[in-house]
Structure 1
């Protein structure tokens, strides 16, 4: 999920291209390209020096929603304060919660927070709504309240149209004491998407894998884990190819570039989208050597840096997949609900998850990898659709939360 959601461009982790020294045996008159490299390298060093002591930590304002959602005393605000922590594509947070009717939450899709290029039919957006809904239901149960979920009360969006502006669901609250607590509630504020390298030599807990399968079944879905080399290697190849396609297709790359937030000030001002906060990335951007609006070209050094960034994403204990019997709108929402429960279960077990959504996207250039992935996993008969693919395992580096907008910014009262 891109629900991957949240990582697009932590791309540049070295400055070799800019800092390469001139060959001592070269001509005494450097080429213009070498001169630019030399000057650019000095600028990077100067900018990096100015960032000395800076960390990768996100500004407090951007992660404050993670700190204390349980402080909300109003029941619906309590539900929504937890639900907004849900994973979602490109971290767009496309949720509008209408509270103007007592005892209900009407969830609408923000027309300005969709992905028409990488997610042209809104499949991933609706998976993101599923994750939001499930966290709201879990939070309500924590206070003993059952929730009735009515999907698409105003009508189901057409299969090949974006659901922008649609009422995705109405959540109706039951009486106090109508629901038992959900043991996964405590994991909501602990669940994060780890995008670092994972250990390749640690097996997943058998109980967790069984729980994933059982959870998928509860929502009418199928799930499995590819964990041996013979099964994982084709998935690595396909997902790598898919990432390159997304990166070199101008309109899909630029869609991501437009929601990149580079540095603490930009992240604090817009706590959504793709956050880039590493000091080196910020330095390169400051001196004009990293322009997110420049589309990586095939064969270029910029594309090589993009693909180098992908290498850690091939590490894992396995690849978890989640498939629905069809690709209807209710199945997409159900996939989000099942996915986030699976992620909460993983968090409780000390296991990390990171969605790899590129090969599942439905823009025309991605057809080859999408069909190859279905075939590799034995899916696709009678309309069966792969809705989520995640690498799972044990991250080798710690990771924190992604930025979230404030609760009040989502509300209509």
Structure 2
């Protein structure tokens, strides 16, 4: 065999081997939808709101970026044709997650998170923002879902004023949650003071960074994660809103995805392809094990925790806690810190009752309700952006 024939043969062998290696990646990438444009990320663009003329839609487009339970984005907005400066925010009960949130407490916290983002954005856009809670009266707790349809959480009124840029505005466009590892550097006294000073006469922010509290709170977090992982109906609720690939993310634009664990780049598409082709890898015991493992990794890389505690557990306090949580997120970002909610220990379904009682006994001994538990620290890397719906979907009719 001459050298040219040998070279051609070696080339064909190399190509065949290469094809065997690349074929799975090609198949996985196709299943992932690698060439699909991520429309679900458009709301994160800083000029997204500019395409809308109505200031109510502009403000709400910022609220859409706020933290929310299970990324369900459970917000619904109604407008009044006779009042061009106001809108009414409703809790969308059809987007509730009843297994982990049977009392709809997290749903109310989520409403508050939205309202605070609207307030920060409205001020930066040159408006005063008045927020009146429950303008139609309190919910009938005995007919809660019906009340949510009939009664607004808040009336938001925007009045033209001088532009007053908020130092926190730029941080609206950062992902609210970072589930990755945090650096071991402890929070400084100045950082701790800046976060705790966000508290009000009705709500407290407490930051814990000593070894005993880190161990105790980390223990609460892990107990709760293991308990939740062992409740099939709760895990199934999360599985039902998992979006395995780009096709599903563009179609639904809410819920969970692989980015939630910080996976990006080509590895994101590899994992999405695998989960798309083999759905069982993200269900049942496999999903439970992965949830516990990821929680343990988070706990192992946490230099501080923060708790938001309210005097009572009224619907108003829940909403105000959500507003405070948004301020906490934005303030943390302004300090170069990241946060991640780890609030399973605060959930109110039966299997969590003992853990809920224990953490309240330790951290709310004088009474009150712990509304949020989060980890805080300097992130090792930036978190990817999560799915967001088209803001027009939130409005009952386009203003």
* TM-score of the two chains, using structure 2 as the length reference: 0.83
Per-residue CA deviation, residues 246-275 of structure 1 (Å, 9 max, x unaligned), is: 122122111111111111111111110111
Change (3 A) 1:239 1:332: same
Q: CA deviation at 1:60?
A: 2.4
For residue 358 of structure 2, the aligned residue among 363, 368, 372 is 372
Contact residue 89 and residue 125 of structure 1 kept, 8 A: yes
Contact 2:306 2:375 in 1 (8 A): yes
Which structure 2 residue ranges, 5 or more long, are not aligned? 1-20, 260-267
Q: How does 1:2-401 map to 2 (within 5 A)?
A: 47-48=24-25, 50-51=27-28, 59-67=37-45, 68-71=47-50, 72-101=52-81, 102=83, 103-158=85-140, 161=144, 164-165=148-149, 166-177=151-162, 180-200=164-184, 202-217=185-200, 220-276=202-258, 278-288=268-278, 290=280, 292=282, 294-296=283-285, 303-314=288-299, 315-377=301-363, 379-382=364-367, 384-401=368-385
List per-residue Cα deviations over 1:122-145 (Å, max 9, x = no partner).
111111110100111111111331
**Contact 1:281–1:290, Cα closer than 8 Å, also in 2:** no
Residue 319 to residue 51, structure 1, CA distance change in 2 (3 Å): same
Q: Is the 8 A contact 1:198 1:393 kept in 2?
A: yes
Q: CA deviation at 1:175?
A: 3.8
Compute the displacement of 1:227 (Å). Answer: 0.6
Alpha carbons 1:191, 1:344 under 8 Å: kept: no
The separation in 2 between residues aligned to 1:246 and 1:58, in whole angstroms, is 34
> Quick check: which has more Rg, 1 or 2?
2
SS class of match (1:237): helix
Match of 1:411 in 2: 395
The match for 2:9 is none
Q: Once superposed, what is the RMSD of the aligned Cα atoms? A: 2.6
Change (3 A) 1:186 1:318: same
Offset at 1:289? 5.7
Give the corresponding residue for 1:7. Answer: none
Q: Closer, same or farther in 2 for the Cα pair 1:135/1:289, shift >3 Å?
A: closer
In the other structure, the counterpart of 1:40 is: none
Per-residue deviation, 1:52: 5.8
**Separation in structure 1 between the aligned mates of residue 288 and residue 178 of structure 2, nearest angstrom:** 23
Q: 1:375 to 1:108 in 2, by over 3 A?
A: same
Distance 1:141 1:367 in 2: 41
Task: Work out whether residues 153 and 167 of structure 1, in 8 Å CA contact, stay in contact via their aligned partners in 2.
Answer: yes
Q: TM-score, normalised by structure 1?
A: 0.81
